[in-house]
């Protein structure tokens, strides 16, 4: 039976992220709306290009706002392994088996945002907020770095699963 031992949901809530995304979104919405309005106001323009361009730019603006709202990193420790999902870029959980785990440690120096590959092909990073997390080292030399607001609790949950 697969039982959840630990779960953490994180959302991107850095102030600088809002300063970047919201002005870009508002600009796209304004340009798109202006193009669509111009299409309906002026019958002499080459209308279809204006209309389609306006709709696309408007949709990009809405998409950026939706991404800002929907982006979420979910970490679950279950009795059969570690599960990670970075929504909307990953629609389903990625299972990381813990049976080949050599060691894990809390780190306070995680940089970046998103999914990255900082270990030259030998590992992956999932981070959405902050600079704290848990580094997992596997027997095959690969690493996994997971950003967490509660890395100590995540490490304890992994210890509980490994002791069973």
Provide the pLDDT for residue 159.
93
Domain ranges, residue 92: 4-11+78-163
Give the N- to C-terminal CA distance of the chain in Å, as an integer: 13
Provide the pLDDT for residue 133.
92
Provide the pLDDT for residue 35.
85
Clarify whether residues 66 and 120 are in a common domain.
no
Clarify whether residues 63 and 20 are in a common domain.
yes
pLDDT in tens, the chain (164 residues): 688 899 999 987 777 777 888 899 999 999 998 888 888 877 655 677 778 888 999 999 999 888 888 889 999 999 999 999 999 989 999 999 999 899 999 998 877 777 777 666 677 889 888 889 999 999 998 999 999 999 999 999 999 999 86
Clarify whether residues 82 and 129 are in a common domain.
yes
The answer to whether 130 touches 151, Cβ cutoff 8 Å, is no
Provide the pLDDT for residue 48.
78
Provide the pLDDT for residue 111.
75
Provide the pLDDT for residue 43.
62
Clarify whether residues 113 and 55 are in a common domain.
no
pTM: 0.78
Clarify whether residues 147 and 84 are in a common domain.
yes
Structurally, the chain folds into a number of domains equal to 2
The answer to whether 51 touches 38, Cβ cutoff 8 Å, is no
Clarify whether residues 29 and 92 are in a common domain.
no
Separation of alpha carbons 51 and 58, rounded Å: 10
One-character DSSP codes across the chain: ---EEEEEEEE---HHHHHHHHHHHHHHHHHHHHHHHHHHH-TTS-HHHHHHHHHHHHHHHHHHHHHHHH-EEEEEEETTEEEEEEETT-SSPEEE-STTEEEEEEES----SEEE-TTTTSEEEEESSSS-EEEEEETTS-EEEEE-S-HHHHHHHHHHHHH-
Clarify whether residues 46 and 89 are in a common domain.
no
Clarify whether residues 60 and 110 are in a common domain.
no
Clarify whether residues 63 and 119 are in a common domain.
no
Given 28, 48, 70, the domain boundary residue is 70
Clarify whether residues 99 and 147 are in a common domain.
yes
Clarify whether residues 133 and 157 are in a common domain.
yes
Q: At 105, which CATH number? A: 2.30.29
Clarify whether residues 98 and 40 are in a common domain.
no
């Amino acid at each position: 039976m697969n039982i959840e031992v630990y779960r953490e949901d994180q959302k991107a809530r850095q102030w600088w992220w809002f300063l970047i995304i919201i002005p870009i979104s508002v600009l796209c919405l304004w340009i798109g709306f202006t193009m669509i309005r111009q299409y309906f106001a002026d019958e002499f323009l080459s209308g279809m290009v204006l209309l389609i361009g306006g709709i696309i730019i408007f949709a990009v603006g809405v998409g950026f706002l939706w991404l800002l709202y929907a982006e979420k990193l979910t970490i679950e420790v279950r009795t059969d392994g570690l599960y990670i999902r970075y929504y909307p870029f990953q629609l389903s959980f990625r299972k990381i088996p813990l049976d080949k785990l050599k060691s894990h440690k809390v780190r306070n120096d995680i940089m970046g945002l998103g999914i990255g590959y900082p270990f030259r092909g030998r590992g992956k990073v999932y981070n959405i907020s902050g600079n704290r997390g848990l580094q997992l080292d596997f027997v095959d030399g690969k690493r996994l770095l997971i950003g967490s607001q509660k890395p100590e609790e995540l490490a304890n949950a992994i210890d509980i699963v490994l002791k069973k």
